[in-house]
Amino acid sequence: MELTDDTRLQPSASANRRARNGAFRPPWSTEMRIRHACTSCADCIRSCPEAILVAGPAGTPVVDFSLGACTFCEACAAACDEDVFDLSEPPWQLKAVLQNTCLLHQGVTCRSCTDVCEISALRFDLHSGPVGQVKVDATRCNGCGACLSMCPVSAITLQTILPKEKAMA
């Protein structure tokens, strides 16, 4: 199903569920910034060339990685007139995490996630197990989400992982 601007601007039930369960906000934004400064004008949603921003709770933007990956083009931040985005900060601290439901854990060869990872944060290691294993290099992963929609068994999640110095502070 192709999403038009009109369908992307309609809050969906799934977007509302994700928001209550930790929706992913656009890069360079936080839940607090969205709640305090976002006017739900949808300029950021309309400006996203990847069409992965959709209307969430109260029409505020959430990222729907099932629609694609973030290219960190900054179009959403450029379109916003409010104090929602902070380009002086990293886009986010999201990192790919592999779950035990990965096909490789079941003895089935699959490299969908490694094939789509442009920065090679997901690497296939043939030395592990009979069919290999995917290893995530969290230092390289930028949380773009490209691997999420490619996994045939949804074995990849994105989680916020703080750098060690921030986690200890």
Tens of pLDDT, residues 115-129: 999 999 999 998 887
The total of other beta-carbon atoms located within 10 Å of residue 113's CB is 24
In a domain, 48, yes or no: yes
Side-chain half-sphere exposure of 11, counting CA atoms within 13 A = 14
Domain of 105, in residue numbers:
94-168
Q: Tens digit of pLDDT for each residue in 74-118?
A: 999 999 999 999 999 999 999 999 999 999 988 898 999 999 999
The total of other beta-carbon atoms located within 10 Å of residue 50's CB is 17
Please identify, among 79, 113, 144, the residue that sits at the C-terminal boundary of a domain.
Answer: 79
62 and 106 both lie in a single domain: no
In a domain, 89, yes or no: no
CATH code, domain with 151: 3.30.70.20
In a domain, 162, yes or no: yes
Nearest Cα to Cα of residue 132 among 159, 94, 98, 157 = 98
100 and 161 both lie in a single domain: yes
pLDDT value at residue 20: 41
36 token code pair: 């305090």
* Domains held by the chain: number: 2
Side-chain half-sphere exposure of 112, counting CA atoms within 13 A = 18
Q: What pTM does this model have?
A: 0.80
69 and 98 both lie in a single domain: no
66 and 102 both lie in a single domain: no
